[in-house]
Amino acid sequence: VTARIKIPFGQGTWPAFWMLGDNIGTVGWPDCGEIDIMENIGREPGVVHGTIHGPGYSGSQGIGGCHVLPAAQAFAEQFHIFAIQWQPKSIRWYLDNQLYFEVTPAQLPQGAPWPFGHPFFLLLNLAVGGEWPGDPDGTTQFPQTMLIDFVRVYQAA
């Protein structure tokens, strides 16, 4: 799963490219599983996060990694390719075709399930405010835009 995106910046912005299990309507969240392919909070213009959420490791207890750009660079300056390679027992996160994080069932809390073996659907959104990014402030410029060049989904033969 991959997308080429130019994300916005500014305090309180929260662009995301993510997935939820298609059984959310019957089992709820986090039992359905969530894969955050890319999340950014505007106060961290040079950092993107990749995270999974499931039963026993959701919200602030999600399991994830981040990629940090070199000093003074921001993701809002140009398009980047955000991707995961999703296999039955692993998920790998890539930024511009470079691996930066991987998670497997062995990394879950003891006894926690791996709810990533069924269909998921994609979401791309730009939220404003919230507990994690905080509220916009006097430095936040509006309007904000998340530009999406492409989204592609591949399946192994």
Residue entry with tokens 């926690």 = 112
The H-or-E segment that residue 99 falls in is strand 98-103
Report the residue count for the chain.
157
Residue among 39, 44, 102, 131 flagged as catalytic: 39
Cis amide prior to 88 (ω within 30 degrees): no
Catalytic status, residue 77: no
Catalytic status, residue 102: no
Contact 139, 12 (CB under 8 A): no
- Residue 130 tokens read as 């919230």
The Cα–Cα gap between 148 and 10 comes to 18
Map residue 59 onto helix, strand or coil. helix
Residues noted as catalytic: 34, 39
